[in-house]
Amino acid sequence: MNILMVEDELLIANDLKNTLTGAGHQVTDIARNLEEAINAVKTQVPDLILLDIVLEGSADGVAIAREILEIYRIPIIVLTANTEDSTYQRVKKTFLPAAYITKPIRHIDLPRLVELAWQNFRPENSSALKDLVFLPVEKRYEKILKSEVVCISTLKGTHSVHLFELYRKQPRLVNLSLGHIEQYFTDPVFFRLSRSVLINLSHIEHVENTHLKLHDVDTLFPIPDSTRAELMRRLGRR
């Protein structure tokens, strides 16, 4: 893919560029501010933009994204060292990023997330396509129906997860962390039960005092005290 980078720190920019070109992509330009970003897009429309939020000058990444999206509809990955929730909320109010990644990022994860952002970039008005997500399973990207995902569980000691689905006897091994995958499952029906488990509320079979059972999954999942109240609220229970 042709990728435009908006990053004002030269060392970081070159490091990211080397990672992307090593994965077979082409970095069309490295823009440091709003003017350079707009000129770069008009010179060569990229397939995807890797955008930092905190930039020197009067316009930050959110303002740059707003200007670019008024001209072209391009998937944008936000890559930032700013971990404040207020920044994340401001991004979401302005545009829907293809991914939201905090620095530093492992070199092995960046090409995967770039591929995911591109694979999952679909027309917003297509309800059928909204249910689709492509995730890295082994050495290829496989189509997943989000409505059939029962839960996603972190594999202890790894940066991968098991993805459990209806009608599949064995879970799929997805080569990304739960934190990265979660941003593709933002529908209200998905709930972060714990640090290591994301569940689909519509596939709960029954809830006990301390555990819950999901369809087509033999394991009983413990309900942490920290999320119990919110879970019961989401289920319409007190």
On the question of pLDDT at 48 being above 90, the answer is yes
Instruction: Give all strands of the β-sheet with 211-214 in edge-to-edge order.
Output: 204-207, 211-214, 220-222
Can you read off the two tokens belonging to residue 15? 């490091």
Which domains does the chain possess?
2-119 (3.40.50.2300), 132-234 (2.40.50.1020)
Return the pLDDT at 103.
86
83-128 pLDDT, tens digit each: 888 888 889 888 888 888 888 888 888 888 888 888 777 544 455 5
- The pLDDT of residue 220 is 93
Residue 58's pLDDT is what?
A: 65
User: Which strands form 99-102's sheet, in the order they lie side by side?
Assistant: 26-31, 2-6, 48-51, 76-80, 99-102
Lowest mean pLDDT: which of 42-51, 109-118, 120-129, 179-188? Answer: 120-129
pTM over 0.75: no
Residue with more model confidence, 21 or 138 = 21
What mean pLDDT is reported for the chain?
88
Per-residue pLDDT, averaged over 197-214, amounts to: 94
pLDDT surpasses 70 at 238: no
141 pLDDT above the threshold of 60: yes
- Tell how strand 76-80 and strand 99-102 pair up: parallel
DSSP 76-87: EEEEES---HHH
**Top-confidence residue, 131 or 162:** 162
pLDDT of residue 142: 86
- Give the strands of the sheet with 140-145, arranged side by side: 140-145, 132-137, 172-174, 161-165, 149-154, 197-200, 190-194
Tokens of 202: 């519509």
The Cα–Cα gap between 80 and 88 comes to: 10
